[in-house]
Amino acid sequence: MGESSQAAINEKTEQIRLEQIEKRFGEQTVLKNLSLTIEKGEFIAIVGKSGSGKSTLLRLAAGLDEPTTGQITYNGIPLKESDMNAKMMYQDSRLLPWKTVIDNVGLGLKRGWKKKAEQTLDHVGLLPFKNEWPSNLSGGQQQRVALARALMYNPTLLLLDEPLSALDALTRMEMQNLIEKLWLEQGFTALLVTHDVREAIKLGDRIILIEDGKITLDVQNTAKRPRAFSDTKLTLLEKNI
């Protein structure tokens, strides 16, 4: 095996660092002296009560908003100057109802995206639905389309703000498996906000609890590690032997 692939397996690589972040909206301080380092390829599950600041944290990490004080870097470079490629997924799919599934997936992209859109729809199991209107799909299928749309950009960071919380239990389980599969295959870093602790334990390498704008718990999910290792890293190992 080459040295570089060995390093890829063993080394933690810092991707995003939030340092002493404060976020205020008027009089209200929503994030309070929050520091967090996210490693490349990590799957972090974020839990916490409504209003504790989870979505605000995701928006800052995605570069959609800026902290009031503190700094955020991506691969060591200030976020704004970096080439970070982040995509968000929300509780609602935010598909355009007047565009077909495939046109939603290719939205905002320049020419030549059709083939990739078909492949991506295939990855989420929806290729046969490519010419449907979003309103003809179930909630879970619409979230699959939203996921496909995000993946079209080959994001290095995927931010998932309660994307499964409106789905029924069985569909949620299927979507959890799909997200995990795509994460294992594609290697993006994932930040998932969820109210479902079982979902956090199933998907997160690391589980973070936010209370009143502060991280009050940050634990490695040892229960998950061996599976992630056996699936992805083992494949990587096998490829390089």
* Minimal distance, residue 197 CB to Mg ion, in Å: 16
Q: Which is nearer to ligand ADP, 55 or 73 (CB)?
A: 55
77-91 core/surface letters (b: 16 or more CB in 10 A; e: else): eebeeeebebbbbbb
* Minimal distance, residue 50 CB to ligand ADP, in Å: 4
Read off the tokens for 236: 């990587």
Residue 142 near ligand ADP by CB under 6 A: no
What is the Cα–Cα distance from 216 to 212, expressed in whole angstroms? 9
Q: Which stretch binds ligand ADP (CB under 6 A): 9-17, 51-59, 103-111, 168-176?
A: 51-59
Residue 50 near ligand ADP by CB under 6 A: yes
Q: Which is nearer to Mg ion, 55 or 142 (CB)?
A: 55
List the one residue from 15, 55, 93, 176 that touches ligand ADP (CB under 6 A): 55
3 state DSSP class of 221: coil
* Minimal distance, residue 32 CB to ligand ADP, in Å: 11
* Minimal distance, residue 185 CB to ligand ADP, in Å: 28
* Minimal distance, residue 65 CB to ligand ADP, in Å: 8
Which partner, Mg ion, ligand ADP, none, binds residue 53 by CB below 5 to 8 Å per kind?
ligand ADP
Q: How would DSSP label each residue in 157-212?
A: EEEEESTTTTS-HHHHHHHHHHHHHHHHHH--EEEEE-S-HHHHHHH-SEEEEEET
Backbone angles phi, psi at 153, to 5 degrees: -90, 5
Residue 56 near ligand ADP by CB under 6 A: yes
* Lookup result for tokens 């083992």: 234
Residue 165 near ligand ADP by CB under 6 A: no
Beta strand pairing status for 28-39 and 14-25? antiparallel
Read off the tokens for 56: 């605000």
Q: How would DSSP label each residue in 23-45?
A: EEETTEEEEEEEEEEEETT-EEE
Residue 135 near ligand ADP by CB under 6 A: no
Site string for ligand ADP, 3-42 (x = CB under 6 A): ----------------------x----x------------
Residue 55 near Mg ion by CB under 5 A: yes
Size of the site for Mg ion (CB under 5 A): 2
The strand order across the sheet containing 43-47 reads: 86-89, 157-161, 189-193, 43-47, 206-211, 214-220
* Minimal distance, residue 153 CB to Mg ion, in Å: 22
Interacting residue ranges for Mg ion, rule: CB under 5 A: 54-55
Interacting residue ranges for ligand ADP, rule: CB under 6 A: 25, 30, 48, 50-56
